[in-house]
Amino acid sequence: MIRSIVRGVGTALPRRIMKNAEFETLVDTTDEWIVQRTGIRQRHVAAEDETTASLGEAAARAALANAGLTPADIDMIVLATSTPNNTFPATAVEIQERLGMRHGFAFDMQAVCSGFVYAVTAADSHIRSGLARRVLVIGAETFSRILDWSDRTTCVLFGDGAGAVVMEAQEQPGLNTDRGVLTSHLRSDGRHKSKLYVDGGPSSTQTTGHLRMEGREVFKHAVGMITDVIRDAFAATGYTADDLDWFVPHQANRRIIDASAHKLGIDPAKVIITVDRHGNTSAASIPLALCAAIADGRIKRGDLVMLEAMGGGFTWGAALVRM
């Protein structure tokens, strides 16, 4: 059967690093509070010339180089983002243009922090159905542009960045030991809309708006939703937490990650953490974490990796991938 394998990975981060201490001059907070409640120590913040499109392009170019491919080899781009350069056209199409691609097709996917898992699932579906052979899956965000910098309950949590993977069709035996995406499971529930949202948009206020979050409410639902969908992935494949080589969760909050891993019985040594360095980069956080662990030699070809995310909507999902 056709499987979607990960052939290359790449990232891009804004030049400017903002440490927690800088927030002490902006809002009533401390480095100690932020570290203790979230695990975040710093995040990257985009300059005016760094946009979702430019960061996404840079991550895409890095992933292509890592895969030994050029834009000519790609037939589809899916960009997971909630911070597009423009309301339309899709920022994915702008990235396509920046890459010099005159063929194929590109579109954005909007599932907030779950965007990368949704995009991987969309890419896998296109590949397995024969609609695409090689797909650039990009998660790129500039959340700094939609933050209320006077709201200490949200502005300390987020960062900017981009990560990308090249996924490719490959004939595999059709077993659990195959390389590629083995299973993925997506969920959403709009009843939770008001717990995490942006208070603006073209059709409602004709403004961009700012991120609003009831952090405690999000926290309360996060662990249950994350663990449910991961259990669905285990049930679909017969694998258990012991079989995982690595757990690459969405990087929102260290306490959510630790509690989810604990509830599932995943060895803490198998959990990839980058939230300390990047903050919550929404749709970019999983590819940024995945890439970091591949670059430092932890995640290797053949490893069984669980990707997982939960975010605004609420949306949530998990994908089990053999690298």
What residue ranges bind ligand ACO (CB under 6 A)? Answer: 29, 33-34, 37-38, 112-113, 152-153, 156, 196, 215-216, 218-219, 222, 252-253, 256, 280, 282, 311-312
Whichever of 37 and 231 has its CB closer to ligand ACO, that residue is 37
Residue 280 is a catalytic residue: yes
Cβ 253 to ligand ACO shortest distance, Å: 4
Whichever of 179 and 221 has its CB closer to ligand ACO, that residue is 221
Cβ 14 to ligand ACO shortest distance, Å: 18
Catalytic member of 250, 253, 278, 291: 250
Cβ 29 to ligand ACO shortest distance, Å: 3
Whichever of 182 and 306 has its CB closer to ligand ACO, that residue is 306
Phi/psi for 320 (5° steps) reads -105, 120
Strand ranges inside the chain, DSSP E: 2-12, 16-19, 42-45, 76-80, 105-109, 134-142, 160-171, 180-188, 196-198, 211-213, 246-249, 304-311, 315-322
Spatial distance between the Cα atoms of 183 and 169, rounded to a whole number of angstroms: 15
Please answer whether residues 274 and 251 qualify as being in contact, where contact means their C-beta atoms are separated by less than 8 angstroms: yes
Residue 250 is a catalytic residue: yes
DSSP class of residue 280 equals: B
Phi/psi for 171 (5° steps) reads -70, 125
Spatial distance between the Cα atoms of 186 and 118, rounded to a whole number of angstroms: 7
Q: Give the pairing type, strands 134-142 and 196-198.
A: unpaired
Tokens 């249950």 appear where? 224
Whichever of 220 and 300 has its CB closer to ligand ACO, that residue is 220
Helix axes 254-264, 215-237, angle to 10 degrees: 40
Catalytic member of 20, 85, 253, 280: 280
Whichever of 67 and 211 has its CB closer to ligand ACO, that residue is 211
Catalytic member of 113, 126, 185, 210: 113
Cβ 260 to ligand ACO shortest distance, Å: 11
Cβ 106 to ligand ACO shortest distance, Å: 23
Peptide bond into 89 cis (omega under 30): yes
Task: Give the catalytic positions in this structure.
Answer: 113, 250, 280
